[in-house]
Structure 1
Amino acid sequence: MTDNASHLTASAREVLSLTDAERIFRIKSDRWIGYPYAKVVLKQLDDLLQHPRVNRMPNIILIGDSNNGKSTLVKRFCQLNPTVDNPEGEAVIAPVMYVQAPPVPDEGRFYNAILDLLFAPYKPSERVDKKQYQVLKLLRYAQLKVLVIDEIHQILAGSLHRQRAFLNVLKYLSNELQISIVGVGTKDALRALQTEPQLANRFKPIHLPRWEMNDDFKRLLASFGAMLPLKLPSKLHNEAIFTRLYAMSEGNIGELTSVLNTAAELAILSGNECITLDTLNQIDWTPPSERRRQFLTV
């Protein structure tokens, strides 16, 4: 069976030899699809990594709708630039670090998250200035070049004073360590940065738009079809299936992933081994705009 599965990538063909339950587990696991615009963004992130240390380091703010692939993209960047052990040094070598913004703009919580990532001992009750000193020292040892802060729009959960204080922390880290910062969030992240104009001017905005119903979307579907370990080819480029998938996902890659994963699981359990229009009609799926509408009417 695996020898004849020419519709799949080599890694997906290998998964065909697993049990149905194991294949479904693989389908539900994270996967990377390097579509053209993602490669463009990765190149710009890599440019930050290669940039010499200067007094005013360049920064990026990656903006997009919720569940539209932002976190997947920056995590891919981190995977391509992994942390390495440094047994003889004071800390690991970490050219890139990924951290989520705290649920409220709190300097202490932010330092806690960084110290946790570095497996550094600390007391949560310690003074903020002591944590700051420890973070600066360890990040220097780690030779950090790029700090990725996901969900940065959560800054807006605090008062204007706390927002500005937190943004000043980011500016201080960037200046003191001569590192680039990559903020990741929804369009509200831009509004959050505007509370500190000097910092906002340092960020280049990159928008991750929704997919349009065009040939690029068809190529994306082809990539998915080659990676889902189904024994028969799914004709996702078929006009009816293509149109249905776009309507179900509304051009959101995270939604599309969930739809195709659910459909692929049903294709395995039913024994059909491919995704058809009938498969899509059978799964229980509500498009994101309809879910929002239902939420607002509750």
Structure 2
Amino acid sequence: MDNYSHLHQDCIPKLEMNVDDRIQDIHKSRWIGYPAAQDAMHKMEGLLCHPRVSRMPNMLLVGATNNGKTEIVKRFCQLHLPDESFDTENLITPTMYFEAPPTPSEADFYTHILCKLYERVPASSIAAKRERTMSVLKRIELKVMIIDELHNILAGSSTKQQHFLNMIKYLSNQLQVSIVGCGTSDLLRAVSVDPQIQNRFPPTIIPRWKYNKSFRQLLSTFESVIPLKSRSSLHSPELSKKILAITEGSIGEISTLLNTAASYSLRNGREFIDLESIQKCGYIGPGMRMRENVNAL
């Protein structure tokens, strides 16, 4: 009997799939609950359970590009879907995910919210859109509003930035909802222009990975959910140091590299990831991509 002790039990049946289907499965989105992600999830659960008060607690989720912020907040929303026991006209929706507009536009943000909820968008003033948005969000009893890419507000003038931040404070106060703002480290600079926002939105940092026990455990977890029949020992010093160096410690890059290397191995009749798979799979790390882009200019 084959020994697949390196795999999670839910992954073992996937070994019966053909190569093409396994490769397709490898590239599907997956959730890995590493400590920083679990900490962020725990804090958002606290926001969801908090009673409605005049000054609701909020938070910022800050990290480098492709370092797992969006996956964390979307996972949180998936765990708190609308309550289908209510009629479709009045679904109770405890959490919602929105993306900040490319520039800090209050009108565009209201339009985005209403469109996502399949609601009519007033064609008149910003005030009409604001009133309609407030009415809809109260009706669905929203508790936690997640605004991703919030660092986009830096694309506008200082006046527009302040207007957008004022809108966030207004929504939180009037709806008595908690707001989770997500973005890169630029987000800390963006909110620094408003002391009230800075005080009401303590940051939770999602750091890049470093070479330590937690990183090697992360690689072992990845190995357990990638359907390859043979053990790769991704946590070994040789492979783990190489993976960290190429990806620069970004979990999104780590996932992309391992998925690409696993696919390369399967296409070449192999059932494990080794140094050759990592070097020849065609993955290009963020540092190399940046240098190539600069050289192309």
User: Is the TM-score greater than 0.5?
Assistant: yes
- Matched to 1:163, the amino acid is Q
The alignment's TM-score, normalised by the length of structure 1, stands at 0.95
In structure 1, C-alpha distance between the alignment counterparts of 2:274 and 2:83, rounded to whole Å: 44
Shift of 1:286: 2.6
User: 1:88-141, CA deviations, whole angstroms, 9 ceiling, x for partnerless residues?
Assistant: 374321101100000011111101111122121225x33221111111111111
Moved more, 150-159 or 196-205: 196-205
Q: Aligned to 1:183, what secondary structure does the other structure show?
A: strand
Tell me what 1:126 maps to. Answer: 124
Q: Please tell me the root mean square deviation across aligned C-alpha atoms, in Å.
A: 1.5
- Superposition TM-score, scaled by structure 2 size: 0.95
Q: Which residue of structure 1 aligns with residue 48 of structure 2?
A: 49
In the aligned structure 1, how far is the partner of 2:289 from the partner of 2:280?
Answer: 18
Structure 2: which 5+ residue stretches go unaligned? none
Residue in 2 aligned with 1:213?
Answer: 211
Q: What's the CA shift for 1:285?
A: 2.8
Helix, strand or coil at the partner of 2:90: coil
Q: Which amino acid aligns with 2:278?
A: L
- The 1-side partners of 2:58 and 2:112 are apart by 21
Residue 279 (str. 1) matches residue 243 (str. 2): no
Mapping of 1:140-219 within 5 angstroms?
Answer: 140-219=138-217
CA distance in 2: counterparts of 1:88 and 1:237, whole angstroms: 50
Residue deviations 1:211-247 (CA, integer Å, cap 9, x gap) = 0111111000000000001111211122211111111
Q: What SS does structure 1 have at the residue aligned with 2:10?
A: helix
Which shifted more, 56-65 or 111-120? 111-120
After TM superposition, the structure 1 = structure 2 runs for residues 1-298 of structure 1, keeping only pairs within 5 Å, are 4-85=3-84, 87-88=86-87, 90-123=89-122, 125-297=123-295, 298=297
Whole-angstrom distance in 2 between the partners of 1:61 and 1:190: 9
Find the residue that maps to 2:209 and give its secondary structure: coil
The answer to which of 183-192 and 84-93 deviates more is 84-93
Q: Secondary structure at the match of 2:84?
A: coil
Q: Percent identity?
A: 43
Query: d(CA) in 2 for partners of 1:119 and 1:278?
Result: 49
Q: Which runs of 5+ in 1 are unaligned?
A: none
Q: Deviations over 1:182-213 (max 9, x none)?
A: 00000111111122222221101111110011
User: How many corresponding residue pairs?
Assistant: 296
Q: What residue identity is the alignment partner of 2:160?
A: R
Letter in 2 for 1:57: M
CA contact (8 A) 1:91 1:118 kept: no
